[in-house]
Amino acid sequence: MNNLNSLRNLYRLEYDHSGFKSSLIDWYNSVIDKSVDELSVLDVSKMVRQNILREVAIDRAIELFFIDPFDGEIKNGDLLALLVSCSAEVVNNKKAETLASRMANLENEISGFDWVDEDEKMQFIQNKISLETILRKNPL
């Protein structure tokens, strides 16, 4: 792919040509060919964990949260847990005010969501409370 909007072109990234074979290197070489809008929950989760374009990943994670707050890499709600783990960057993010508004309107959706189990629901609610607390403690 030779997309002008790819992460590789926008941020002048290079492919990893180390010759070392790993699924992480394969993922990295494929993800830098994506545009920001093409980044998935899996991509942004790995980008945050690997400290690759972390701010871009957090911005995209917030966008994905607006689309589906229950989405996750492995289980429902992982996206919210990712935002909680990046709390300092989320608070400093230009989308923090909109995120706070989205969090306030989430209560009815939680009760209507088809949870796999009660523990998953409770973890989501705890992460929601944690992120709301973070947003309140750090006025925008």
Do residues 31 and 43 touch, judged by C-beta distance below 8 A? yes
pLDDT single digits (tens) 69-104? 999 999 999 999 999 999 888 877 778 888 888 888
**Structure tokens that stand for 114 in this block:** 């088809």
Q: Which residues are within 8 A (CB) of 33 and not within 5 positions of it... i.e. 6 or more apart?
A: 1, 3, 6, 7, 8
| Span 38-63, average pLDDT | 95
Name the DSSP class of 113.
S
pLDDT band at 1 (very low <50, low <70, confident <90, very high): very low
Given its phi and psi angles, is residue 72 left (phi above 0), alpha (psi -120 to 50 degrees) or beta? beta
Q: Spell out the domain ranges in the chain.
A: 1-38, 54-137
pLDDT single digits (tens) 55-68? 999 999 999 999 99
